[in-house]
Structure 1
Amino acid sequence: MVGMRDVAKKAGVSVSTVSLVVNGTGYVSEDMRKRVEKAMKALDYIPNELARNLYHDRTNIIGVIVPTIRHPFFATLAALLQQELANKGFRTMLCSTTDSLNGEAEYVDMLRRHMMDGIIMAAHTAHAPDYWSSIGRPVVAFDRYLGAGIPSLGSDHEQGGNLVADLLIRSGTRHVVMVSGPRSQFHDLEGEGTTFPTIRYYAALEERMEREGVKYDYIEAGEVNDMRGYAHAMHDIFDRFDDVDAVVSSDIGAAYCVQEAHRRGVSVPDELQVVAYDGTYLADTAGKRLTAICQDFNAIAELTVRRMVEAMEGKQTASMQMSHTGELDDLVPVRLMLGETTKQQ
């Protein structure tokens, strides 16, 4: 196997000069650099990436932790994060907590041992905030609050809830049913705080319905990896509420709702309006094009990676310095995409 000594001998320079060229550190004259690069090419020398990373105290590997890659939202997010990280010269190590015996703990251990450069955390965690702040290595939270000093970002879910409310109020909705995860997520921090900023979407919608005198209910569909939970929840809606005229859920729940309505002979959107939240590829595959609140995946991926690079460089943004417990540092706007499942076109 060709090594640096062989390259140095071929180029007629010292091993330290070859090392400077390979690692991109220190000053090397242009003539010397060309001689080394020519020798490397002639000998088909491949630098030892592991040794080079150790030299720089970098692995160029970022861990991305999601609840499950079976869910279309997290599958889409993971794909775009991997693409954006690759554009910045990083490789992605993906972890699905529901499909892993040790959850995020194994990845955090790898980060502590410098086996990766940072973690993007997009899954629920039972660990207290001081667990994350004690790691002392770059961590960025997506749609999660992990604790003071941990950069966090997500979609503007309060805006999303208000967009849905505006749409339903304009169309004269009388009884809306919301379907999502366990209600306990709304207050999983001491006091009234939550690590789940996504609940602000439902909180904003409920507040508007209350203010307008519109009847509303909330049905739990199980954990995020329980796809069939949404199917069961939609079945229950039609059995429990004979006056429901609007259903709001994730893309998965909305798609199941359209299918259940069709089986029961309920006209969508004339008798029942359906609004999806996420705007993934699933919004176009439900039999009818779903009206959806679309999260900006490209902007989310770009901002997440930017915050990761800043965290690796030890930078703290102004938004981090102003954020409060349970709040995100950065909010990415959402948009309403009108489809065939609501009356407002």
Structure 2
Amino acid sequence: MVGMRDVAREAGVSTSTVSLVVNGNGYVSPAMAERVQAAMDRLNYVPNELARNLSRNRTNLVGVIIPTIRHPFFATLTASLQRALYEQGLRTALCSTADVDQDVSQYVDMLRRRAMDGIIMGAHAVYPADYWSSIDRPIVAFDRFLGGSIPSVGSDHSQGGRLAAELFVRTGARRVVEIGGPRTHYQTAAGLNSEPLGSITIAGQPTFPPIRYHLAFERTLLAKRIRYEYMEIESVARMEEFKDAAHLAFERHPDLDAIVAPDLAAAFCAQEALRRGRSIPGDVQIIAYDGTYVSDLAGVRLTSVLQDFDGLANALVRRLVQVIPGKAYQGAGAADQPGAGEGDQAVSELISMSLKPGESTRWTGSVQELLSR
């Protein structure tokens, strides 16, 4: 097996010069670097990436923790994250907790042992804030608040909730069904339909920021005296629950005239409505919340509140790279953001949401008109 000593002999230089060329961590004249590279090419020398990274106290490996890759939202986000990490010279170690019945502790242990350079945390966890701050290693949270020292990136769910609610208000909806995740992620206030839900908080921040979507949606409907019912999907990893929720929505609320739900549940709702002879959007309006490919596969093109997957991925990776020691972010926005150790890294970064008109609602105006009041 060819090693650095062999390259040094072939090029007629010292092993330290070969090391500088291979690792790129010191000055070597262009002529000398070309000479060493030519020797490596002749000998088919392949640098030992593991050894090189260990010498830098780096692995170029990032843990991405999500609940499941079966769900279209997390599958789409993971694809965008892998691309964004790759563009920064980083590889992805994926942990989908529900798919393998595993919690996040093994990945945290890997991070503590420096077997990974950082973690993007996107699964629900019940650890207290001091658990995350005690790790003292690069972590960025997706759509959750882990504590004052942990940067957080997520969609502007308040904007998303208002978009969905205002569309229903403007189109005359009177009985709305809202399908969402488990309420155990929230702490409800005085009754599901009498007051908008409250939230478990850390240092005044909601631990699960998507609550802002439900708050904005429900407050807007309440202000207009529009009735709504919340239907819970207990586990995002069990696809059958989305179909069951769609069936139960029509069974329990036969007079419903509007539904907002995650893409998969919204698609099943469209199929259920058509099966029951309910016209879309004449009898029932449906909004899909997320905007994955599933929203176009329901038999009717669904109106969708869109999350910007590439925007989320780029922001998450940028935030993470900025807190990895010795790593510089390459790409748009690098100069506009504080570097590692500078500024308030824990400030939440919200990515704007948008509305994609479809055939499942009666709204024909613009997004600006919806939010103009």
- The C-alpha deviation readout for 1:42-92, integer Å capped at 9, x for no partner, is 111111111100111111111111110000000000001101111111111
Q: How far apart are the structure 1 equivalents of 2:68 and 2:49?
A: 31
Percent of aligned pairs with the same amino acid:
53
Q: Which residue of 2 aligns with 1:240?
A: 252
RMSD of the TM alignment (CA)?
A: 1.5
Q: How far apart are the structure 1 equivalents of 2:211 and 2:270?
A: 23
2:99–2:237 Cα contact (<8 Å) kept: no
Q: Which residue of 2 aligns with 1:176?
A: 176
- The C-alpha deviation readout for 1:13-56, integer Å capped at 9, x for no partner, is 11111111111112212222122111111111111111100111
User: 1:242: how far off?
Assistant: 2.5
Q: Which residue of 2 aligns with 1:31?
A: 31
* Number of matched pairs: 339
- The C-alpha deviation readout for 1:112-140, integer Å capped at 9, x for no partner, is 11111111111111211111111111111
Q: Specify the code of the residue in structure 1 equivalent to 2:200.
A: L
Q: Which residue of 1 aligns with 2:265?
A: 253
User: 1:101: how far off?
Assistant: 3.8
Q: How far apart are the structure 1 equivalents of 2:142 and 2:256?
A: 33
Q: Which residue of 2 aligns with 1:150?
A: 150
User: 1:231: how far off?
Assistant: 1.4
User: 1:236: how far off?
Assistant: 1.4
Q: Specify the code of the residue in structure 1 equivalent to 2:165.
A: A
Secondary structure of the 2:287 match is: strand
TM-score of the two chains, using structure 2 as the length reference: 0.88
* Residues 256 and 305 (structure 1), Cα distance of their counterparts in 2 relative to 1, 3 Å cut: same
Gaps of 5+ in 1: 324-328
Residue 310 (structure 2) pairs with residue 294 (structure 1): no
* Residues 306 and 186 (structure 1), Cα distance of their counterparts in 2 relative to 1, 3 Å cut: same
Q: Specify the code of the residue in structure 2 equivalent to 1:256.
A: F
Q: Which residue of 2 aligns with 1:326?
A: none
Q: How does 1:71-150 map to 2 (within 5 A)?
A: 71-150=71-150
- The C-alpha deviation readout for 1:130-162, integer Å capped at 9, x for no partner, is 111111111111111111111101000000010
Q: Specify the code of the residue in structure 2 equivalent to 1:189.
A: I
Secondary structure of the 1:115 match is: coil
* Residues 317 and 154 (structure 1), Cα distance of their counterparts in 2 relative to 1, 3 Å cut: farther
In the alignment, which of 358, 361, 364 is matched to residue 339 of structure 1? Answer: 358
* Residues 319 and 266 (structure 1), Cα distance of their counterparts in 2 relative to 1, 3 Å cut: farther
1:293–1:337 Cα contact (<8 Å) kept: yes
Residue 220 (structure 2) pairs with residue 208 (structure 1): yes
1:273–1:341 Cα contact (<8 Å) kept: yes
1:62–1:91 Cα contact (<8 Å) kept: yes
User: 1:338: how far off?
Assistant: 0.8
Q: Specify the code of the residue in structure 2 equivalent to 1:245.
A: D
User: 1:203: how far off?
Assistant: 1.1
Q: Which moved more, 1:100-109 or 1:124-133?
A: 100-109
* Residues 116 and 228 (structure 1), Cα distance of their counterparts in 2 relative to 1, 3 Å cut: same
